[in-house]
Amino acid sequence: MLETIGVEHFGQLLKAIPAELGNPKIELPPPLSEIEAQNWFGSLAQSNATSKTHLSFLGAGCYEHFIPSVVHHVTSRSEFYTSYTPYQPEASQGMLQALFEYQSLICELTGMDVSNGSHYDGATALAESVLMALHHTNRRKVLIARSVHPEYRAVTDTYLAGTRFETAEFPYRISFDFDFEVLKRQLTPEVASVVVQSPNFFGLVEDLTGLAELVHANGSLLILVAHPLSFGIYKTPEEWGADIVCGEGQPLGVPPSFGGPWLGYLATTRALMRRIPGRLVGITKDEFGQRAYCLTLQAREQHIRRERASSNICTNQALCALTAAVYMASLGKNGIRRVAELNLENALYLRGEIGKLKGARVLTCGPVFNEFVVEFEKPVFEINDALWERGVIGGLQLDRYYGELRNQMLLCATETKSKEDLDRFVQMLREVMG
């Protein structure tokens, strides 16, 4: 295998990893007692910077939200914590019920008809949504707004690489909303679906008025990527006329966890129910007339012929889906709305205060949820380095993904930030910019 791909040994496959990351110099201690081992690992963990040790304003698809203690209390029960994929439904009624509750809550949150049992993450949920649209319409092209999360777009491109399908992007305008006129020109009969994100990657809540009608008139499907908590105050995907909604479910009670594991949510209309990938839990009655849960409409290659399968997803982080279900159930409708309001209030307050600073210009001027873009006179990396020295994690340097957005930072403020936190951050920015 190594000879075929042109390397002499396995180590050559790791060349892309920087030496300081690939070969950590950790001096392992001699055998320790349990308490000594706990202390040693604890001291090692303190070298990590987290939102518990630093004040963080970094979002861009991964968000710090408050998680009620009841969530961990329920999900850490051994019945849930040690359970795995429910391949044998009759032996997994508890986990099947939990996933059924998750699906039901996602449908209530989004307004859609049916949800699956979750995906690996938001990026794969979008890629699978695109495949749904391609197979349903029997067309070959997908239009994706450039304001959709760049990593989501990259994963979708990877999914379609080597197939007869292709993606094409349509641009965003200077105000960060997608260009409706360009989309109209690109919307040809070969287009299976149009993908937009709202709130988009720049934090702007898009005005999708007339979009569904335009897309459906072309015989295409509308896929909406969205932050799930934003539905607490903004229109739901069902109200916008979306055919599929998907995104990252991490904000629903799952900690950032250094990038995972998380869960991707996916919900759709009844018309597309048989196209939905992954695991779908249904409710029925057993031979005694009692309520029973079962896996239904199985479209995975483990259950039907591979060439007919809608997805090759074999498992997911079901514990994360359970966590999301407990989070949504514990907050309820009013709680989710209040969390969404706090996200909006904090973002608007921080945006207003930063807008007063000399050397800073707010660029996301329309409606937002918890993020917005600021342009600085100084390079973003210099600002973030100076903030880091003060115990603060700054925002995302946007030219990492968008080369044209020089000296621009994506900042996030969720309900976890107090007014004092926001004021302290603004004061630090003032100091950093001189």
pLDDT digits (tens, 9 = 90+) for 95-127: 889 999 999 999 999 999 999 989 889 999 999
229 near 340, Cβ under 8 Å? yes
What pLDDT does 296 receive?
Answer: 83
Q: Look at residues 298, 268, 313, 311 and name the one whose alpha carbon lies nearest to residue 131.
A: 311
CA dihedral 420, 426, 429, 431 (to 10 degrees): -70
Quote the DSSP letter at residue 87.
S
Q: Which two tokens stand for residue 340?
A: 């969404």
Q: Which two tokens stand for residue 64?
A: 């710090």
Between CA 378 and CA 361 the distance in angstroms is 12
What pLDDT does 432 receive?
Answer: 93
CA angle at residue 219 from 215 to 222, to 5 degrees? 40
Between CA 164 and CA 190 the distance in angstroms is 12
Q: Which two tokens stand for residue 25?
A: 């110099």
Phi, psi of 51 (to 5 degrees): -70, -10
Terminal-to-terminal C-alpha distance of the chain: 57
Question: What Å distances lie between residue 160 and 127, 165, 316, CA to CA?
Answer: 8, 6, 21
242 near 83, Cβ under 8 Å? no
pLDDT digits (tens, 9 = 90+) for 138-197: 999 999 999 999 999 999 999 999 899 999 999 999 999 999 999 999 999 999 999 999
What pLDDT does 361 receive?
Answer: 96
What pLDDT does 299 receive?
Answer: 60
Phi, psi of 139 (to 5 degrees): -110, 180
Domain 55-67+333-432 carries which CATH code?
Answer: 3.90.1150.10
What's the distance, CA 128 to chain centroid?
A: 14
Q: Look at residues 144, 355, 300, 324 and name the one whose alpha carbon lies nearest to residue 248.
A: 324
What pLDDT does 15 receive?
Answer: 82
> How many C-beta atoms lie closer than 10 Å to residue 305's C-beta?
7
376 near 359, Cβ under 8 Å? yes
What pLDDT does 424 receive?
Answer: 97
For residue 91, the one-letter residue type is A
Q: Which two tokens stand for residue 433?
A: 């910019």
Full pLDDT tens readout for the chain, 434 residues: 999 999 999 888 888 888 777 666 677 889 999 999 999 999 988 888 888 889 999 999 999 999 999 999 999 988 887 766 655 556 678 888 999 999 999 999 999 999 998 988 999 999 999 999 999 999 999 999 999 999 999 999 999 998 999 999 999 999 999 999 999 999 999 999 999 999 999 999 999 999 999 999 999 999 999 999 999 999 999 999 999 999 999 999 999 998 889 999 999 999 999 889 888 899 999 889 999 998 887 665 556 666 666 665 655 678 899 999 999 999 999 999 999 999 999 999 999 999 999 999 999 999 999 999 999 999 999 999 999 999 999 999 999 999 999 999 999 999 999 999 999 999 999 999 88
The DSSP bridge partners found for residue 295 are 281
Give the relative orientation of helices 318-354 and 419-432 as an angle to the nearest 10 degrees.
60
Q: Look at residues 263, 282, 284 and name the one whose alpha carbon lies nearest to residue 273.
A: 282
Q: Which two tokens stand for residue 293?
A: 């849960």
Q: Domain 69-327 has what CATH class?
A: alpha beta
Question: In 3-state terms, the chain is what percent helix, strand and coil (to 5)?
Answer: 40, 15, 40
Where along the chain do its domains lie? 55-67+333-432, 69-327
What pLDDT does 308 receive?
Answer: 67
Q: Strands 396-397, 408-412: parallel, antiparallel or unpaired by DSSP?
A: antiparallel
Between CA 219 and CA 197 the distance in angstroms is 20
Mean pLDDT of the chain: 92
> How many C-beta atoms lie closer than 10 Å to residue 297's C-beta?
15
What pLDDT does 169 receive?
Answer: 97
Q: Which two tokens stand for residue 79?
A: 């019945």
Between CA 395 and CA 372 the distance in angstroms is 10
For residue 333, the one-letter residue type is K
DSSP of 376-433: ESS-HHHHHHHHHHTTEE--EEGGGT-TT-TTEEEEE--TT--HHHHHHHHHHHHHHT
What pLDDT does 269 receive?
Answer: 97
Does the fold of domain 69-327 match that of domain 55-67+333-432? Answer: no
What pLDDT does 48 receive?
Answer: 86
Predicted model pTM: 0.91
The burial class, CB within 10 Å (0-12 / 13-18 / 19+), for 199 is: buried
What pLDDT does 23 receive?
Answer: 63
Q: Is 346 helix (H, G, I), strand (E, B) or coil?
A: helix
